[in-house]
Structure 1
């Protein structure tokens, strides 16, 4: 009997310049330029450089004519382990496998040009983290309806398994300072993303289109969105900022219309930011941000593994590729960020910390082996040196300590007497950023 029948289961040029692995706050980067990354991304109410438009476009109104460019060396460590047996459907291992690929180069750049004292234009290019895993080795055991089993190589019994999702944004911004130290702005976002998946074809039995589920190469999707922002002074020393980016509706990944809900749709989630900045003295600046990411609005990210059992009971829309099919089961995420800057002469020193509870439920471990977005804490440091009146050098470092989550294999079976298998996923991260800014 073919092993795909035995399993009967179901479950990311544009060659993007960025190549990140799974990002820091779920799939959203903790910051975009070396300066705001050094304060854990807490820049909704402040404006270090032209890349502020990635967080709050209104900050552009207070940026001089300038160009900023940076590059990140992103170093994630992600792995999973399994313990115990599972029946009557599917068991992984038991084993412990670490994902290969632990160094990614991520560029970002932005330009700002003041039309007059009130109006500023900006153009920025940056990426989100996306998802990236590649698990080599291991094995999986598949069961048929009579309890017969077959053990096959690979995390899901289909050889090397993994996914690669990348997102890139071109951000064109118009900012208007409508009175002294008060500004509103609008960004037009052109979004592109790429995706590929491999080693998961054993979920074909639960897909509406099994020929477009796995190993279909790299596919691309595009969308258009907006970001709105406000930034202004409440007092001589206190700034307030707010920004909102609605969900970006993306075109479908046609090559993977048998994997994601709604025949291959993977939208960019909405985000809302609120921040304060306090200039305590000429030397000291304090920053506080709250960011909410609406993962629950995107079916491919939010739908839970319960849909697999509905598919088995004949509900076609719950099968992979259907409108209510399984996603990664993520919840919304709220991130709290605190940053500090000390400036003296030609030097600026920065530090930051942020926390956001991981969006992954312990009931959704199985598919999140492919997307272990578990990072909760970020610790950041950075510095800038003004080389000349127009040129500055920037650097930052981020450390995200390991976080792990354990839960039941959701395909262990729901029947009485079914054995349960425990799966554990884990991730830690480091990132080094270097950049230059030029005022002209």
Structure 2
């Protein structure tokens, strides 16, 4: 177990020093372990690795006593276009900006150990998701109350502009067999977040606390939650499963209490997933899952930009940034449809997957989502598992999310009745992950 302890320590260290980017489905990862990532995030009904507790803790009873160590390299491309001349309000450009930071290491770790024939415990550490943008250079035009223009560097008028949010889970799980065909599981979750923002000072007039709006370094937040799950067999070849993860109430980002709703609150949204796995042949399995992410229940993520207009009409109201009804990113809930196929060929197991979801950002919510362009809709995945020895198995997974673009109006442009400025935000993603499974 000394080796497992060393891997866990290394994983924690990497997770804490690594920057984060948008996961895939909004800000939630499309998968966690190398196996379920290769299957587009399916597997809630059929567990094959220790990291499967991140999808469904009930599946722990069906995996080997093992230690998993995974390392992903995540490469997103994201940016925005703005068109049209500046009008007497907050306008951006016109310009095309693409975010810096295009490669992110994402480590994860998991341990599964049977306590007896009916019960298995597990411990895992993994990134839940996050967001990262960094826009350098360019120009922005801000008009004062007299209609006089001031040209300043940066996306929102203050040099380098962007945000960096990292989210980390420590998952302690236990699963128990109800009988040979059915099991239940429970995970206790500890969540840890870091956040920083730069270049947002020109929104000071919309904030209840402009000193805690931007450029205050890195802040920290933590909270607790749980995940429950069920897994079973309806027939010898048809498996079913379901899991629910609670909304995690996180402590406030005090350094950014003038940015996020409720004095800097940024909770982790609840998620639900159901699915099936059909063993079509002894060496061929078809997976199908549906996942729902409740973004709208987190004010910092779901509150709409229209709330900002109430702040403009009544300075100091709770609709201003930092207030209880403050503007958020305006994201809608997401429902993700996933399918995967796994087959054994000679000494190697191969996997393919595909998922689809409507992206969460409406056309009238683009201004603030320049900072958070999580608009990809499709994910294509592939992977393999190769037994190296009786104790070690190598896993690999690849993901590609083609570029998706959302276009609409700048909500703070054209307030005088002139034509509103047009904004387009876009994102594409690639990820490669390798995992080593050690059967203990």
After TM superposition, the score normalised by the length of structure 1 is 0.95
Where do residues 392-411 of structure 1 align in structure 2 (5 Å cutoff)? Answer: 392-411=393-412
CA distance in 2: counterparts of 1:219 and 1:16, whole angstroms: 13
Which residue number in structure 2 is paired with residue 55 of structure 1?
A: 55
8 A Cα contact 2:20 2:164, kept in partner:
no
After superposition, give the CA deviation of every residue in 1:318-371 in whole Å (9 maximum; x if it has no partner): 000000011000000000000000113421000000001100011000000000
CA distance in 1: counterparts of 2:271 and 2:325, whole angstroms: 23
Cα deviation for residue 17 of structure 1 reads: 5.1
- 3-state DSSP class of the match of 1:190? strand
8 A Cα contact 1:124 1:170, kept in partner:
yes
Where do residues 305-316 of structure 1 align in structure 2 (5 Å cutoff)? Answer: 305-314=305-314, 316=317
CA distance in 2: counterparts of 1:350 and 1:342, whole angstroms: 7
- 3-state DSSP class of the match of 1:146? coil
User: Taking structure 1 as reference, are residues 122 and 163 closer, same or farther at Cα in structure 2, changes over 3 Å only?
Assistant: same
1:207 maps onto 2:216 in alignment: no
Cα deviation for residue 63 of structure 1 reads: 1.1
1:145 maps onto 2:145 in alignment: yes
CA distance in 2: counterparts of 1:101 and 1:253, whole angstroms: 23
User: Taking structure 1 as reference, are residues 326 and 437 closer, same or farther at Cα in structure 2, changes over 3 Å only?
Assistant: same
- 3-state DSSP class of the match of 1:263? helix
Which residue number in structure 2 is paired with residue 381 of structure 1?
A: 382
Where do residues 261-272 of structure 1 align in structure 2 (5 Å cutoff)? Answer: 261-272=261-272
1:317 maps onto 2:318 in alignment: yes
Cα deviation for residue 178 of structure 1 reads: 1.1
Which residue number in structure 2 is paired with residue 438 of structure 1?
A: 438
Which residue number in structure 2 is paired with residue 300 of structure 1?
A: 300
8 A Cα contact 2:14 2:107, kept in partner:
no
After superposition, give the CA deviation of every residue in 1:247-277 in whole Å (9 maximum; x if it has no partner): 0000000000000000000000000100000
8 A Cα contact 2:197 2:217, kept in partner:
yes
1:21 maps onto 2:21 in alignment: yes
8 A Cα contact 1:26 1:375, kept in partner:
yes
Q: What residue ranges of structure 1 are gaps of 5+ in the alignment?
A: 1-12
CA distance in 1: counterparts of 2:118 and 2:128, whole angstroms: 30
Q: What residue ranges of structure 2 are gaps of 5+ in the alignment?
A: 1-12
User: Taking structure 1 as reference, are residues 22 and 151 closer, same or farther at Cα in structure 2, changes over 3 Å only?
Assistant: same
> Structure 1: which 4+ aligned runs deviate by more than 6 Å?
none
- 3-state DSSP class of the match of 1:52? helix
After superposition, give the CA deviation of every residue in 1:282-303 in whole Å (9 maximum; x if it has no partner): 1101100000000000000001
Cα deviation for residue 146 of structure 1 reads: 2.2
Which residue number in structure 2 is paired with residue 117 of structure 1?
A: 117
CA distance in 1: counterparts of 2:24 and 2:308, whole angstroms: 28
8 A Cα contact 2:212 2:257, kept in partner:
yes
- 3-state DSSP class of the match of 2:36? helix
8 A Cα contact 1:269 1:295, kept in partner:
yes
Which residue number in structure 2 is paired with residue 102 of structure 1?
A: 102
- 3-state DSSP class of the match of 2:281? coil
8 A Cα contact 1:14 1:194, kept in partner:
no
How many residues get paired?
427
After TM superposition, the score normalised by the length of structure 2 is 0.95
Which residue number in structure 1 is paired with residue 7 of structure 2?
A: none
- 3-state DSSP class of the match of 1:280? strand
8 A Cα contact 1:16 1:167, kept in partner:
no
CA distance in 2: counterparts of 1:236 and 1:198, whole angstroms: 56
Cα deviation for residue 14 of structure 1 reads: 11
Where do residues 239-250 of structure 1 align in structure 2 (5 Å cutoff)? Answer: 239-250=239-250
Which residue number in structure 2 is paired with residue 93 of structure 1?
A: 93
8 A Cα contact 1:14 1:193, kept in partner:
no
Which residue number in structure 2 is paired with residue 3 of structure 1?
A: none
